[in-house]
Amino acid sequence: MSMFCYQCQETAKNEGCTVRGVCGKDAKVANLQDLLVFVLKGISIYAEKARAEGTDLSAKTAPFIMEGLFATITNANFDAERFENLIKEAFELRAEIKAEFEKAYKDNHGQEFTGSLPEQATWFSDNLNDYYEKSSNVGVLETENVDVRSLRELATYGLKGIAAYGDHARVLGKHKQEIDRFVQKCLAATTDDSLSVDDLVALVMETGEMAVQTMALLDEANTSTYGHPEPTDVNIGVRNNPGILISGHDLKDMEELLEQTAGTGVDVYTHSEMLPANSYPAFKKYDHFVGNYGNSWWHQDKEFKSFNGPILMTTNCITPVKDSYQERIFTTGMAGYPGVKHIADRKEGESKDFSEIIELAKKCESPVQLEEGTIPGGYARNTVMSVADKVIAAVENGDIGRFVVMGGCDGRFKNREYFTDVAKELPEDAVILTAGCAKYRYNKLDLGDIGGIPRVLDAGQCNDSYSLAYIALQLKEAMGVDDINDLPISYDIAWYEQKAVAVLLALLSLGVKGIRLGPTIPAFISDNVLNVLVDKFDIKPVGDVEADVAAIMAGK
Ligand code: FSO
Ligand code: SF4
């Protein structure tokens, strides 16, 4: 076995990738990612010890820890050199935090700290060969007890999701001390052998609570910067100008790209999870912002070829880059791919410089049209709540029988046709609430509307999943229902990567029961942990389409 990773839904045999990732990640990068997380845990151990001595260093640790965790999310970064550098930086930060802890300890106790610490806090080398040697022995399998391992990884993957959402919020100037503190507390806790299974279950639940807070913070960051998304018919056709395709989830990159391309004769199109940018007032004002091109992330090898122009990947999901567009794809932020040009971070008070991409676009042909027409978007919390009276009336008079939350991710495998089939099979009085790239399985089906309310209400990116929770909580108030589970809402969630784990834990922490999860139950959930989730939350795997649709409509 040269690596071990089971953090995403497509892991080999639903057990673990052991030679090379199904995602394309090689063993070298997988192991370096493990080593980076290992050192991030070491930083967290010292920061937690400093906090016990009365020194809060979370403002110093959280930005780097969150970026580091974000880089290890599925399909975000495949570049070994980038991870080598992140590990070096992590050692530097760890040394600083260690020194601050030791000083605080000495000040408080009048003597040096001599206690023993886990290896995450002590192992060091500045030799790259040592990185590689060590990196194959610091992964998830180092925790032998399968249930402890399962809970540690469940918390860590939830934390990776929190890190991604938290990093997006920070880019827009928003952060919260409580979240920053939790990130270091949670990472340090995953190294603590004294914690019982019950303690770890509690940690996982707290991860869910923090995910809710982080998603609320990101929602606030996005809407206060760019306005509330508005109902929008998003064009899926093309024009005859050269274009730039922007993918991933980073709205600040979107803003700066639109600003820098204005008046250049180059059009801008969104791809995959950037589609919801078409519904923000701040972006809709640009005439050269044409619409969305293509489908969810895993179709990119073909769609990037036919786009003809440059592609900017702001975050995940990247798939192995093909020669046909190797010269025209760029990464930025925490995204990375070997041999692909990376646009540097913005300097304090400045924008990123996208001029190289714009100049390249001018020399490219316009995109090949894949489809035409429009798809509806912009049904985030503000839009839905602005018609709350209409929605509640439709529920009360029986026009809407059920809401089905079908958010989450899309993926490569055939078993995800389940979600298309469910969308098709749901009766006409069912409304689908969605967010994330899962929507591409049914957002072009033309499922009609109920009294002007589209049957697929798209709240936005997976980053906007907070809208789905918010709508449920507001409906609970408005309809005078005591328990969120008494609302006419069912959950049929498609998961793929770790942001979806954060969203799932967030829903559990809000008390949502009876969630169907698919296309498979995560490989990192052990049998005993699954039993806990079934007992406490009645989680179930997706099953037969017809039977699931009947059960969903019956509120089961
Ligand atoms: Fe999709 Fe990829 Fe948004 Fe994920 S593009 S799969 S949950 O990384 O981020 O929904
Ligand atoms: Fe395998 Fe998923 Fe890990 Fe990639 S991210 S190596 S596909 S488990």
Domains of the chain: 12-224 (1.20.1270.20), 232-362 (3.40.50.2030), 381-553 (3.40.50.2030)
Q: How far is the CA of 88 from the centre of ligand 2 (A)?
A: 24
Strands 453-454 and 456-458, bridge-based pairing: unpaired
- Looking up tokens 């024009």 gives 239
Q: What is the DSSP letter of 53?
A: T
Q: What does each C-alpha distance from 107 to 50, 101, 104 come to in angstroms? A: 11, 10, 5
- Give the model confidence (pLDDT) of 136-182 as tens digits: 999 999 999 999 999 999 999 999 999 999 999 999 999 999 999 99
* Per-residue model confidence (pLDDT) at position 263: 98
Angle between helix 527-537 and 146-171 (nearest 10): 60
Q: Looking at the CA of residue 462, tell me the nearest atom of ligand 1.
A: 3
- Tell me if 25 CB under 6 Å of ligand 2: yes
Residues 6+ apart with CB under 8 A from 535: none
Residue nearest to atom 5 of ligand 1 (CA): 317
Ligand 1 neighbourhood includes 157 CB (under 6 angstroms) = no
Nearest to 117 by CA among 45, 34, 61, 181: 45
Residue 1 pLDDT: 78
| DSSP β-bridge partners for residue 243 | 267
Give the long-range contacts of residues 84-92, CB within 8 A, separation 24 or more. 84/32, 84/128, 84/131, 86/36, 87/32, 87/35, 87/36, 87/39, 87/131, 88/126, 89/64, 90/36, 90/39, 90/40, 90/42, 90/43, 90/64, 91/39, 91/124, 91/126
Q: How far is the CA of 332 from the centre of ligand 2 (A)?
A: 21
Å from CA of 501 to ligand 2 middle: 14
Mutate to test the pocket of ligand 1, among 274, 437, 505 (most ligand atoms within 8 A of CB): 437
Of 537, 543, 531, 494, nearest to 514 (Cα)?
Answer: 537
Alpha helix ranges (H) inside 227-248: none
Average pLDDT across the chain, whole number: 97
317 CB within 6 A, ligand 1: yes
- Distance between CA atoms of residues 61 and 54, nearest Å: 16
Looking from the CA of residue 16, the nearest atom of ligand 2 is: 8
pLDDT digits (tens, 9 = 90+) for 401-419: 999 999 999 999 999 999 9
What does the DSSP 8-state code read for residue 378?
A: -
Q: Whole-prediction pTM value?
A: 0.98
Q: Considering only CA atoms, which residue is closest to atom 9 of ligand 1?
A: 462
Cα(73)–Cα(273) distance, rounded to whole angstroms? 15
pLDDT at residue 470, as a whole number:
95
CA distances from 336 to 6, 43, 321, 341, 524 (A): 21, 24, 11, 8, 26
Q: Specify the pLDDT at position 259.
A: 98
Token digits for 495?
A: 């998961």
Give the chain's residues under pLDDT 50.
Answer: none
Which pLDDT does position 63 carry in this prediction? 98
Q: Per the annotation, does 317 bind a ligand?
A: yes
Contacts of 144 (CB under 8 A, 6+ apart): none
What count of Cα atoms within 13 Å lies in the side-chain half-sphere of residue 446?
Answer: 2
